[in-house]
Amino acid sequence: MRIVAYEDRHFASVDHLWRACFPDDSPRNRAEAAIPAKLALGDGLLLVAEDDGGRVIGTAMAGYDGHRGWLYAVAVHPNRRRSGIGRSLVQEACARLAGRGCVKVNLQVRAGNAATAEFYRKLGFAEEPRISMGRDLA
């Protein structure tokens, strides 16, 4: 496995992976909306894990606004989970954020998704006493 920056050749595979891993995501989070928006930033923080044959087996999207880092779209192909791919993607994303001066990384896990929360706990993340709020601007 290797982790590389997203390239246009990855689109169809990433789209397929995200639909499998995030079937209930809103349209704004789908590949056709999220990827062009991310690429417009030119920050190189959309990462893709490829197997030895060049097939997409995972993704991680990171963001940094100069204050905090964020992780989004950490996804691993269902048949490849529990093999260290997710851990490697998170570690690589965090390393790239730290290289930009980021000192804290946040992420959100949907309520009730205990398995994913446990995955992040094992990587050193901890729940914080916060209320997550959002507002659609569209």
Block means of pLDDT (10 residues each) for the chain, 138 residues, are 97 97 92 96 97 97 96 96 96 98 96 94 96 90
Would you report the helix, strand and coil content of the chain in percent, each value rounded to 5?
40, 20, 40
The pLDDT score that the predictor gives to residue 95 is 98
> Measured between alpha carbons, how far is 12 from 55 in angstroms, rounded to an integer?
11
> Measured between alpha carbons, how far is 57 from 100 in angstroms, rounded to an integer?
26
The pLDDT score that the predictor gives to residue 138 is 82
Task: Classify domain 2-122 at the CATH topology level.
Answer: Aminopeptidase (3.40.630)
For residue 106, give the nearest of 42, 49, 58, 62 by alpha carbon: 62
For residue 119, give the nearest of 72, 74, 63, 64 by alpha carbon: 74
